[in-house]
Structure 1
Amino acid sequence: MKFHIPLRLTRTAAIASLCSLCLLGARGAAAAEPAATQDALAPLETSSVSLAQAMKLIEAASATARAHHLALSFAIVDPGGHLIAAVRMDGAPFASLDFARGKAFASVALGGQSGATLEQRFKDDPSEYSNVSGAGYYAPFLPARGVQPIFSGGHLLGAMGASGAPSEIDEQAVKGAIEAIGASTTR
Structure 2
Amino acid sequence: MLNKPTLSVAETTRILDAARAEAEKNNWAVTISIVDDGGHPLALLRLDGCPPMSGYIATEKARTAALGRRESKQFEDMINGGRTAFLSVPFAGTLEGAVPVVVDGQVAGAVGVSGVKASEDAQIARAGAQSVAK
**TM-score, structure 2 as length reference:** 0.89
Normalized per residue, the structure richer in strand is 2
Q: What whole-Å deviation, never above 9, does each CA across 1:10-66 have from its counterpart, x for those lacking one?
A: xxxxxxxxxxxxxxxxxxxxxxxxxxxxxxxxxxx8522222211111111111111
Which has the higher relative contact order, 1 or 2, with Cα contacts under 8 A spaced 6 or more apart? 2
Task: Return the index of the structure with the highest Cα Rg.
Answer: 1
Which residue of structure 2 lines up, in the alignment, with residue 179 of structure 1? 130
RMSD: 1.6
Q: After the TM superposition, which parts of structure 1 deviate over 3 Å for at least 4 consecutive aligned residues? A: none
1:96 Cα shift? 0.5
The one-letter amino acid paired with 2:6 is S
The one-letter amino acid paired with 2:9 is L
1:101 to 59, 66, 69: 59
CA contact (8 A) 2:36 2:42 kept: yes
Which residue of structure 2 lines up, in the alignment, with residue 148 of structure 1? 99
1:129 to 64, 84, 87: 87
1:157 Cα shift? 0.3
Q: Give the 5 Å matches for 1:31-70.
A: 47-70=5-28
CA contact (8 A) 2:65 2:71 kept: yes
Q: Does 1:89 pair with 2:47?
A: yes
- Provide the rounded CA distance (Å) in 2 between the counterparts of 1:158 and 1:70: 23
Number of residue pairs aligned between Structure 1 and Structure 2: 131
- Provide the rounded CA distance (Å) in 1 between the counterparts of 2:97 and 2:90: 19
- Which runs of no fewer than 5 residues in structure 1 stay unpaired? 1-44, 134-140
Q: Does 1:113 pair with 2:64?
A: no
The one-letter amino acid paired with 1:159 is A
- Which runs of no fewer than 5 residues in structure 2 stay unpaired? none
The one-letter amino acid paired with 1:54 is T
The one-letter amino acid paired with 2:96 is R
CA contact (8 A) 2:57 2:93 kept: yes
CA contact (8 A) 2:75 2:94 kept: yes
The one-letter amino acid paired with 1:164 is G
CA contact (8 A) 1:51 1:85 kept: no
Aligned-pair identity (%): 27
SS in 1 for 2:102: strand
Normalized per residue, the structure richer in helix is 1
- Provide the rounded CA distance (Å) in 1 between the counterparts of 2:75 and 2:35: 16
